[in-house]
Chains A and B, each alone.
Chain A
Amino acid sequence: MTWFRRKRTRELALVVCFLLPSLAIFFLYRLLPLGWNAWLSVHAWSPLKAAQFIGVEHYEEMLLDDDMFWQALVNTLVFIACSPLAIAAALGIALLVNSDLRGAAVYRTIVFLSYPLMTVAVGIIWRWLYDERGGFFNYVLRSSGIVDQPVKFLQSFDWALPCVILADFWQVLGFYMIILLTGLQSIPQHLYEAARVDGVPASARFFRITLPLLRPSIFLCIVVGILNSFTSFDLVYVMTNGGPGHATELLITYIYKAGFGQTRFDYAAALTVVQFLLLVVLTVIANKLSGGNAGSLERQ
């Protein structure tokens, strides 16, 4: 009996030793920050000052007096709202390369090629494509006679945000495609064969079989699109740094500026809390819309 108990204790000690380093890292860099952000957001604190509880003052300031916050919020929402365009394009490409097309693997590789790249470098590449003198877009527009004067894309209040979003599309398109391809390949082929035998037209096959069964993959793409508004910090930082004015300011770049530019850690924490809640709410909504009745083919 003691042998058994000793074995149990040893087993437990082993598990603890093996898990501890990972759990310590997740505690320090995921869980603790979540709570710390919430705590900071209701305190007045700076590295040289003792913390003082101030309730929702930061949130009041943010919602009532901070135009930059609203601008960043709107831009972030626009950024997210545009991602369905890229997802639709990716779906089209996925349908094309999923078929028995010769060379489909080569097409897939090329479309995916931009995803693993360093985003800072991608930002520099696109900055250059938009350049008014040496850039590709102005070259095409001017030499085809569509415009006379060079367009300063990234200095323009109207164009800067769409330009950054397009650069982001270019990088993430391949990833959406891969997610959707994985989804397409998990759809049982016999459904299509049965529909074909019944004489169901191709468009109906797409809307009644493909799209409903792809819902989980589309949901995953939407979540990636939402997260992209967080991870696009690198792109915005390099391409426009939030400018002109704050036309391309995202919540994440504003958090960085508030925290590390103005050393207002407490206010930046409050911004982060709002951004995190936004992420959770949007993800839940997306889940309701697309995952809620995913795989409901039998019911139709």
Chain B
Amino acid sequence: MRRSPGSPAHWPRHVIMIVVCFLMLVPFYWVIKTSLTGENIYAWPPRIIPVDPHLFNYVDVWYMIPFARYLLNSVIVTAMAIAGSLLFNVAAGYALTRHFPGRRWIVVLLLSCMLIPFQATIIPAYLVTSWLGVLDTWLGVALPLLSTIICIFIFKASFEAVPPSLIDAARVDGLGEWRIVTRILLPLSKSAIATNVILTFIWSWNSFLWPLIAIRSPDMQTLPLGLARFLSVMEDTTGALFAFVVLVLIPGLAIFLMAQKEFIRGLTSGATKG
């Protein structure tokens, strides 16, 4: 009964999927078109193919706003979040593979913490960060992302899949605990590392609500904040806004397209964003 791929009876499904994909891609096209157009973006009727396409808008972005500064802040915060979360998640994931009294309780505690969405903690999170004295700093923005529960469990599962005899052999050879992690376990956990890096990148790069709260000075703003600020100052009167949007979206899209498999695996095990 199974039809072979590409047989004639498949065409209605292709038609539906092509329509769906077309609808999904329209917003991308519309914003790219607007960012490239050379005429007034409010001209009626809007053209489907940009007239006189050029990159002026992309150049404008660099002059109209401190784009480089926003980019720097975003990159530093994201790098801190990735480095910190790798270190702490690997350490915690390894600790959870060991047997010690109270381990079950810690696992239960972590699983229940996972159910608390970050958005439900903003008021006290602000007060905690202010009490720690790191409001309006890179560290303050990165802090809540420095360890993520889902990635701890991904590392735990990955470490547990390594044959114990390998670890015992290393221990007999006199390797210290941290050496065992870095020399034996991590090289065997590449896909867990990739998942951690990608998820933390996306969470940190796209994060808006938390930086909006934790950052005061314009100098410290990250890209999403800069985008919102640009919007509130200029409204959507200039094509530069849409050039800004395109520039900001490229890193996320590039990472997704390069590492689709790890990305989707991580997200489905994480299930919630932020």
Residues of chain A whose beta carbon lies under 8 Å from any beta carbon of chain B: 11-12, 14-15, 17-19, 21-23, 25-26, 28-34, 36-37, 40, 93, 96-97, 99-103, 107, 109-122, 124-129, 131, 133-136, 139, 142-143, 170, 173-175, 178-179, 182, 196, 220, 223-224, 227, 230-231, 233-234, 237-238, 252, 255-256, 259-260, 265, 268-269, 272, 275-276, 279
Of the residues B94, B152, B245, contact of A121 by C-beta under 8 Å: B245
Bound complex: CA A182 to CA B270 (Å):
13
In contact, A124 and B236 (Cβ under 8 angstroms): yes
Which residue from chain B places its CB closest to the CB of A38 in the assembled complex?
Answer: B124
Given contacts A120-B208, A136-B27, A265-B127, 9 further A-B contacts (CB under 8 A): A14-B177, A21-B88, A36-B123, A96-B17, A99-B13, A118-B223, A133-B44, A139-B45, A276-B120
Q: Knowing A33-B125, A124-B236, A272-B123, say if A11 contacts B34 (CB, 8 Å).
A: no
CB distance from A159 to the nearest CB of B (A): 18
For chain A, what secondary structure do more than half of its interface residues adopt (helix, strand, loop), or is it mixed?
Answer: helix
CB distance from B114 to the nearest CB of A (A): 9
CB of B172 within 8 Å of the partner chain: no
CB distance from B191 to the nearest CB of A (A): 16
In contact, A32 and B128 (Cβ under 8 angstroms): yes
CB of B61 within 8 Å of the partner chain: no
Q: What would 21 A/B residue contacts be, using CB atoms closer than 8 Å?
A: A18-B95, A25-B88, A26-B110, A36-B127, A110-B25, A114-B24, A116-B206, A117-B249, A118-B208, A118-B224, A120-B208, A129-B30, A134-B34, A134-B42, A136-B27, A170-B24, A234-B209, A234-B224, A238-B228, A259-B126, A265-B127
Bound complex: CA A28 to CA B139 (Å):
14
For B202, B224, B257, the residue with the greatest tally of chain A CB atoms inside 10 Å of its CB is: B224
Q: Knowing A97-B17, A121-B245, say if A129 contacts B27 (CB, 8 Å).
A: yes
CB distance from B67 to the nearest CB of A (A): 14
Which residue from chain B places its CB closest to the CB of A100 in the assembled complex?
Answer: B5
Interface size grouping (class) on chain B: 35 or more
Q: Mark B101-119, 1 if CB is under 8 A from A, else 0.
A: 0000010011001001111
For chain B, what secondary structure do more than half of its interface residues adopt (helix, strand, loop), or is it mixed?
Answer: helix
- CB neighbours of B6 from chain A (8 A): 102
In contact, B95 and A31 (Cβ under 8 angstroms): no
- CB neighbours of B122 from chain A (8 A): 255-256, 259, 272
Q: Knowing A133-B42, A136-B26, say if A33 contacts B121 (CB, 8 Å).
A: yes
In contact, B100 and A11 (Cβ under 8 angstroms): yes
- CB neighbours of A126 from chain B (8 A): 27
Of the residues B14, B143, B255, contact of A101 by C-beta under 8 Å: B14
In contact, B123 and A265 (Cβ under 8 angstroms): yes
CB of B169 within 8 Å of the partner chain: no
- CB neighbours of A139 from chain B (8 A): 45-46
Bound complex: CA A131 to CA B46 (Å):
11
Q: Give the contacts of B21-35 with A (CB-CB under 8 A).
A: 21, 24-28, 30-31, 34
In contact, A134 and B46 (Cβ under 8 angstroms): yes
In contact, B152 and A25 (Cβ under 8 angstroms): no
Of the residues B20, B118, B205, B252, contact of A111 by C-beta under 8 Å: B20
- CB neighbours of B245 from chain A (8 A): 121, 124-125
In contact, A12 and B100 (Cβ under 8 angstroms): yes
Bound complex: CA A112 to CA B113 (Å):
28
Of the residues A15, A25, A102, contact of B98 by C-beta under 8 Å: A15
In contact, B98 and A118 (Cβ under 8 angstroms): no
In contact, A178 and B24 (Cβ under 8 angstroms): no
In contact, A19 and B106 (Cβ under 8 angstroms): yes
CB of B138 within 8 Å of the partner chain: no
- CB neighbours of A97 from chain B (8 A): 17
In contact, B120 and A279 (Cβ under 8 angstroms): yes
Bound complex: CA A6 to CA B31 (Å):
64
- CB neighbours of B45 from chain A (8 A): 139, 142-143
